[in-house]
Structure 1
């Protein structure tokens, strides 16, 4: 089977979608499938190959509402069409898979229809998780997604919560839930800067939706009960200066460490040494960082708004909380910091649960969907959704 994974973003950029496509492509190839990645050209300095296979960065111009924007789109259109058609001729995919619907989506949808190639849409929660709220601001993107959903022979989604959100864009095939995965054997890599002796960790991009302001507030409320425990926030983004100022305002700045962006192997080191991990997002589609905390065998405290509530059993493999309630989170921080038996129980529960989320399991699910689509059969769906 020849598969084109059409990614909204890919190497050298780092993130959940990029990692998902990276691991999926490699494991499908080990099973004998020919896989090529088509990614959005973002004018990066990019590699020419992916795992020894062609890696194609394609332009995805879209018209905007301004006269200038329409003119720029019209000038870019012929060249972009030529590059997409060239990719189609060279790779001749049996199926085209849109991995996260952005500017890649309209182009992949149109090409699949024109060429008569089956289309699969893999949703990653972008309809409500996009940092710029693109689906709220762009009518073109909303209409394009509705078109893609009607056309797609199969739809997957990272969680039931994210799948439910697709209903507002119109009719679509039943959704197969295919979560994210994790490599249980990722090596740990040293973090250059020293960490506190005892700390609670938060990992993610420093944007408003990730809720690190609530984590800082909760830590400040529980500071007295937390004793000598510090807070380490790993990641970078536009909210970093505001978060640093917030820690200062709350009187806990000396106890909060901002590491900046870390590589995956460094995240493993961070979590292996943490007392607990917190995922305070205001809403979360899935939460790969939850899997990372489970792998490290530490308690994971996660938002109950979104996908984590579908993954986690409260009190068994983690603790769920309302991300709007800093007092509730503060009480949970104090509880896990002072109760070693609870930490051990939650850590053991997480290790058991994460075994269900390897990349091989993810690839099994995709392979079933893709093979069914290429064979012209409906995809088998254990959790059907309208």
Structure 2
């Protein structure tokens, strides 16, 4: 029996220990003794520069360093689209910490990143492509920097030393070699096959010598990885390039600031030259993180270009402390946190099974969403008896789907004010709802700007590969743009279908999500609201309220239906109404709805003596709302960020001209001077109300169009459209990729 083929474990460990000690000994000698001797300074002359560093300045340096790491996450998330920015930052910090401690630590950092990505559900193929692309962009950028520095120095008229010219030529040659290997690999399967065959031949040569020759199939593996990498480069090359460029730019700013603090009056081309040499030398894996070698290269280049030895050494050491030393404890802390989270998750696993292990999860062939009996869960953070657009729409949608034979149910958080719900309304905690979703064929999540309950359940359903459709019921503009970072970092990689209730809402959300968002509008039973005798509406979960006495003695009655909350802008509506009355006194206002602002609004009305011309009805049933609309002359919607405008759609069906803001969801069913007037400001809205009150001919023409031409947002069409998007959601869940872009078949204003 042969025993010479495997190295002794003790000897292997001893060898690794010796390499570790030797590498750090070389690094320490280069920094502690070699650097001062080569520069001609002592540490006693360098250290006082650090004592003058203020806490505020140190925090500023930390901010620039950390901003660079955040920008670098865009490179990582482009190379692995399922990776969030938070996890990308964790990979960056932990990988750098290991690489900066262990000699040839790049391999150890890669292995650590592999294990972390595996724990997050990313397979080996994804990790291989991620590693190849991130290292390709990182190394390529570092090798290109000396050439950029050479051009910057020449442009600034600064004499270029022969050593820098030679270094730049070597770096440019290495960059060309990297491109010569990467380009064929990414551009053609034949190139990948040739490279794989060549690498396999080289690797198998020593294996044949020791009698362990075997087929490694490297060419086949490279072909598989090539297809993924080529797709990622085609979609994310600009993002990766801007990410690595921004990262290096912030590191250069950090170096310039450190040199400025230590009194080095160098120009930016000179700083760029030193930075380029330092970054390029970190590619050499001789010492952990290039310590010692990169430091000497940085200091030597700055001295060659006229820097003061003491100030340059102090600035270089301060800079390297951030890009090398600080990353070790911070990355170690991130690694410890990751280990702690994994341990806690493993402890919880026996008592709370993940949704993927429950019955019904991971369906290979999801049920046809149109098939009777299909189990559909509508997830919403808010529901009746609270009254609003989402609440009303989800209630109606579930009822209409149940009327078609679908097993539709509503899942919403527990509420203290909830009345007696139908059996298909489930008020559950997140844990209970997660188990409920496992029994469903389709999960339809309805989101507003802030919907933590819906987002958590959407993520759980998507992770379990249940067909998931997310409908956004709000406009992601103004203050809501702070959520775009979350969308870009996480939401867009979920295997779900996305929709919004209007073209305006879809456009605002697309800019945040950077994915195609279909239009799935709200709907009404158009025949219930059309001009003429209505048929009885579907039962509602909302309790009716008695209307107040009508305002008398008015010629033109303006009506608006809304929840009395700041987002709907009832207070600006009262100011608009006052301005309109100054132009035309024969105008009354009826505000239908209730909410937290009602008392404040009533005090405003009393203070400005509008009691006789403004009436608040409170909460009304649908029949009572219909009666108010039919008694009015025109309808006003003052909210510029109205994502759809269900009440405005109901008013349009009754034949009322609608006055609303441009670039809102109301443009889906109202065209300017066809079904109403679309304006750009509150002042224009006041003028429009006064003009319509005076111009009976225009008012009649708009009303006749609305009575004659029904809108498309009827339940029959919207239910069919919903089923189409459920199919898109099933496709996304079944194949684990983005759904094909759904066609926006909805016209901006039907009949316009």
TM > 0.5 between the two?
yes
How far the C-alpha of 1:179 sits from its partner, in A, is: 1.1
Q: Which has the greater radius of gyration?
A: 2
Write out per-residue CA displacement over residues 151-193 of structure 1, whole angstroms, 9 at most, x where no aligned residue.
1431111111111222354343x21111111123165999532
* Counterparts of residues 1-386 of structure 1 (less than 5 Å): 1-50=374-423, 54-60=424-430, 81=431, 83-89=432-438, 92-101=439-448, 102-125=451-474, 127=476, 143=486, 147-172=490-515, 174-183=516-525, 184-185=527-528, 192-197=547-552, 198=554, 199-223=557-581, 226-325=584-683, 328-374=684-730, 376=734, 378=739, 381-383=742-744
Q: Deviations over 1:16-51 (max 9, x none)?
A: 11221122222222333222221122333343534x
* Between 204-213 and 357-366, the greater mean CA deviation after superposition: 204-213
Question: Do the aligned partners of 1:368 and 1:380 also contact (CA within 8 Å) in 2?
Answer: no
- Note the C-alpha offset of 1:285: 0.8
Per-residue Cα deviation, 1:95-141 (whole angstroms, up to 9, x for no partner): 21111251222321232144221221111116459xxx6x567x7x9
- Residue 144 of structure 1, CA deviation: 7.1
Q: Secondary structure at the match of 2:418?
A: coil
Distance 1:155 1:237 in 2: 30
Aligned-CA RMSD value: 2.9
| Cα offsets for 1:47-103 (capped at 9, x unmatched) | 3534xxx3211224xxxxxxxxxxxxxxxxxxxx2x1343135xx212211112512
Q: Whole-Å Cα distance in 2 between the matches of residues 144 and 305 of structure 1? A: 22
Determine the C-alpha separation between the residues in 2 that align with 1:267 and 1:127: 29
Secondary structure in 1 matching 2:528: coil
Question: Does structure 2 conserve the Cα–Cα contact (< 8 Å) formed by 1:279 and 1:302?
Answer: yes
What secondary structure is seen at the aligned counterpart in 1 of 2:401? Answer: helix
| Structure 2 residues without counterparts, runs of 5 or longer | 1-373, 530-535, 538-543, 746-752
Equivalent residue number for residue 199 of structure 2? none
Q: 1:145, 1:105 → 2: CA distance?
A: 18
Cα distance, 1:291 vs. partner? 0.8
Which stretches in structure 1 are left out of the alignment for 5+ residues?
61-80
Greater Cα offset, 293-302 or 242-251: 242-251
Q: Matched residues in 2 for 1:264 and 1:379: separation?
A: 38
Distance change (3 Å), C-alpha of 1:261 and 1:30: closer
Partner Cα separation in structure 2 for residue 329 and residue 115 of structure 1: 49
- Counterpart of 1:244 in 2: which secondary structure? helix
Distance 1:278 1:253 in 2: 19
User: More displaced, 356-365 or 233-242?
Assistant: 233-242
Kindly provide the CA deviation profile for residues 176-222 of structure 1, in whole angstroms up to 9, marking residues without a partner as x: 11111112316599953221244211211122232333332232233
> Which deviations, in whole Å up to 9, do the C-alpha atoms of 1:211-247 show, x marking residues without a partner?
3333322322332554443211122223223333333
Which structure ranks higher in relative contact order (CA pairs < 8 Å, sequence separation ≥ 6)? 1
Separation (CA, whole Å) in 1 of partners of 2:658 and 2:462: 44
Residues 25 and 295 of structure 1, relative CA distance in 2, 3 Å threshold? same
SS in 2 for 1:4: strand
Change (3 A) 1:39 1:244: same
Change (3 A) 1:126 1:218: closer
Deviation of 1:261 (Å): 2.0
Pick closer, same or farther for the CA change 1:277–1:46 going to 2, 3 Å.
same
Contact 2:377 2:437 in 1 (8 A): no
Q: 1:7 to 1:275 in 2, by over 3 A?
A: same
- 1:224 and 1:164 map into 2 onto residues whose CA distance is 37
SS of the residue aligned with 1:302?
A: strand
- Preserved CA contact (<8 Å) 1:280 1:323: no
Deviates more, 1:233-242 or 1:336-345: 233-242
Question: What secondary structure, in the 3-state scheme, does the structure 1 residue paired with 2:682 have?
Answer: coil
The farther-off stretch of 144-153 and 177-186 is 144-153
Number of matched pairs: 349
Pair 1:145–1:6, CA change in 2 (3 A)? farther
Judge which range, 116-125 or 189-198, deviates more. Answer: 189-198
More strand by share: 1
Q: 1:113 to 1:231 in 2, by over 3 A?
A: closer
Q: How much has 1:309 moved relative to structure 2?
A: 3.1
Deviations 1:267-315 (A, max 9, x none): 1111110011111113211111111111211111112242223432110
Deviates more, 1:104-113 or 1:190-199: 190-199
Contact 2:564 2:598 in 1 (8 A): yes
Distance 1:149 1:10, change over 3 A: farther
